[in-house]
Amino acid sequence: MEAEVLIRQSGFFISALTTISLALLSIEFISNYKLSFFPFSFIIILYIAALYLRNRFWRKAWKGDSKTVFRYSNIIVWSLGIAAIALFVYFGNSQIIVYPLSHYAFNVYLLLIAFIWTVYSAFEIYMVNEISSLTKYKNANYLAVSAIFLVDISFMVMNHFVYILPISLLLLSVSSLVSGVRLKEIY
């Protein structure tokens, strides 16, 4: 039974690990303006693994639901997640010269990725709320919305305060971890 619970939560836990990895990578980039794409290969693998596990979880959770949007939630999550990573990889490959992180504020590609990711995250928060009670986790929604909002804002104001991106990513990892913990009680 415990193994089944851990598998159910693993997509969210791996997402938290992926986000922490991105936060650490962004701190390293801020400190020396050098960016190695080698760690990105591992982060992308973790991201896709987390996305796959979440996809499986949502497919199982909403398999027999009467609402079409829930029944096909795994396809929605998978599609938006793949679109976001594909756009990010395209953006990364198009960067011939790597600038300081503050240069990328208001970058159209990053804003589009943030928009796709925001829709995807908001949809998952909604589904987590539909499945898990808020009695034990009253502040979980505030944490999740704050994390999403701060990540989106960071792409706009990081030319003024570059450390907003790693801070927002760390907050997001905590939010993903809390979402995974909340899902322990279902099934």
Half-sphere exposure of 105 (CA within 13 A, CB side): 15
78 three-state secondary structure? helix
CB 138 within 8 A of CB 182: no
pLDDT band per the 50, 70, 90 thresholds, residue 64: confident
pLDDT in the model for residue 80? 95
Q: Where are the alpha helices (DSSP H) in 33-163?
A: 38-61, 68-71, 73-93, 108-131, 140-157
pLDDT band per the 50, 70, 90 thresholds, residue 2: low
Q: Give Cβ neighbours of residue 43 (< 8 Å, ≥ 6 apart).
A: 18, 21, 22, 25
Taking the C-alpha atoms of residue 2 and residue 99, their distance in angstroms, rounded to an integer, is: 46
Taking the C-alpha atoms of residue 146 and residue 112, their distance in angstroms, rounded to an integer, is: 19
pLDDT in the model for residue 1? 54
pLDDT in the model for residue 46? 93
Q: Give Cβ neighbours of residue 62 (< 8 Å, ≥ 6 apart).
A: 70, 71, 73, 74, 127
pLDDT in tens, 85-133: 999 999 988 888 878 888 888 999 999 999 999 999 999 988 888 887 7
